[in-house]
Amino acid sequence: MADQKPSPEIDPTLPEMVQDFLRAGGTLEEIRLDAGGTWLHEGLRFENERVVELFSRSVDRTEGGTWVLNVGRFTYPITVDDVGFFVERATWEEKEPRVWLSDGTQETLNLDSLRYAEGGRLYCTIKDGRFKARFKRGAYHAIASYLDQDDRGFLLRLPFETVRLLSAP
């Protein structure tokens, strides 16, 4: 008897219709959000900006940890290389800094959630701590004048407060 490859575990928190499709051997075309915030379909970049905006507004994660697009009553599992949300821009001069996110929303930045990772990557938590967001290149470079480094790591020296950036895991 030939060895059978075990089927990948199906997230039980996906909608039942999606679970049934996958259990029946159905395959999904890959929709991927890469580490830089680019949407891809089967490896090709989405060109239609309206589709990109729709996808960016529709990102969610199931309780089981599967990244999905929730569009209307439809749920589609996706591949996320790093994070599901990105900081497009931020304001740092005010007592309560704000971030504008890839899903079209904005919120007050929790300064204590800022994390620095190798290669100039900056992250924060969003949506009441439910998700992590990565600063896009432009948003990251906009704060470069506030960044400082000492023997213990990076500091963000804002006009009203200095914050030590912890290392991202």
Which of the listed residues 31, 50, 80 is the one where a domain comes to its end? 80
105 and 156 in a single domain? The answer is yes
Highest mean pLDDT among 5-19, 100-114, 151-165: 100-114
What gap in Å lies between CA 47 and CA 69, rounded to an integer? Answer: 18
pTM of the model: 0.89
CB 145 within 8 A of CB 158: no
Q: What is the DSSP letter of 5?
A: P
Quick count: other Cβ atoms within 10 Å of Cβ 135? 22
Q: Are residues 110 and 158 in the same domain?
A: yes
**Assigned token pair, 83:** 């994070």
pLDDT digits (tens, 9 = 90+) for 7-51: 568 999 999 999 999 999 999 999 999 999 999 999 999 999 999
Report the C-alpha gap between 116 and 169 in whole angstroms: 9
Mean pLDDT value across residues 133-152: 90
Looking at the structure, tell me whether residues 109 and 74 fall in a common domain. Answer: no
Q: Give the residue numbers spanning the domain of 60.
A: 16-80
Boundary-marking domain end, from 31, 57, 80: 80
